[in-house]
Amino acid sequence: MVNPSKRIERLLVLTMTAMLMVALWASAAAAQVSFKEDVFPIIEIRCLECHQSGGEGYEASGLDMSNYEGLMKGTKSGPMITPGNAVDSNLLAVIDRRTSAEIWMPHNTKQLSKCERQAFRFWVLQGAQDN
């Protein structure tokens, strides 16, 4: 039988750990994400080969990711970013692979890392600013 004081101690440790995890997540989410410093470097490495003038992705969709204005303009079908709303932002849907496989991004290659996707997500949630 476990000593009641040990149970309380374990419960306190678990509670404190959970509170710390929530605090760390909240502080990470509150950190300002910069388009120029955090998001665009990912785009340069993982997206620009296809999504700039002359690229296969640009020709197919009309999405030009070579600058903020092009990204915010979106595709021939409409916007890719809904500032402040990660659920309705089509870009997040395709990089999170919440769509049909034919439009997962990037095509025919490894999915963006969780950290890369989180940078996009936090940027969108913070209003998708040109900062």
Query: How many C-beta atoms surround the C-beta of residue 91 within 10 A?
Result: 23
pLDDT of residue 8: 73
Does 49 share its domain with 87? yes
**Tens of pLDDT, residues 10-52:** 665 566 555 655 555 555 556 899 999 999 999 999 999 999 9
Dig out the tokens for 52 from the structure. 């700039």
Domain enclosing residue 86, as ranges: 33-125
**pTM, 2 dp:** 0.76
Residue 130 lies in a domain: no
**To the nearest whole number, what is the mean pLDDT of the chain?**
88
Are 67 and 117 contained in the same domain? Answer: yes
Q: Are residues 52 and 65 in the same domain?
A: yes
| Residue 63, in any domain of the structure | yes
pLDDT value at position 96? 97
Average pLDDT estimate for 119-124: 97
Give which of 99, 58, 62 is closest to 77, Cα–Cα: 62
Higher pLDDT, 97 or 24: 97
